[in-house]
A = this chain, B = another copy of it.
Amino acid sequence: MVGDVVSPHSGASIYQQVAAILRARIAQGTYAPGSELPAEKDLVYEMAVGRDSVRDALALLRDEGLIIKRRGHRTRVSEPMVRTRIELSAKTIVAARMPTPEERVEYDVPAGVPMLTINGVPYPSDRYEAFTP
């Protein structure tokens, strides 16, 4: 998808346009799972926007669980994880919510990954799912 440009007449904000372009590239495999995205400064140059716009766009994709950002190295496209399946008993309530800061540390949950709760007990949803037998 070379030649994508952001436009002030698109209706959407610049960072959302940048996010849409990157999201499309991920969806069509231009940026494959596990591969690296261009550095922020290169995206700033390519898209001809400010760093705020690029960073806001990347934050959006991170919060959607599409990419993994780590200080010191390049941003990568998330890879689907194998999920452990938890068998549900009777009279059980299953819900979802974002992790607390403590849970983020305790379970090593990346940004953009919610918790699946089974009778209130939290499980990182990128590694666990539940099923009824």
Contacts and interface: CB of A to CB of B under 8 A. Distances in A.
Contact of A63 (B23, B88, B90, B98): B98
Interface in A86-133: 88-101, 111-116, 125, 129-133
A83 B94 CA distance: 11
Interface of A: 20, 23, 63-65, 83, 85, 88-101, 111-116, 125, 129-133
Given A64-B101, A65-B98, 15 more contacts: A23-B101, A63-B111, A85-B93, A90-B132, A92-B131, A92-B132, A93-B131, A94-B129, A94-B132, A95-B116, A95-B130, A98-B114, A114-B114, A114-B125, A116-B116
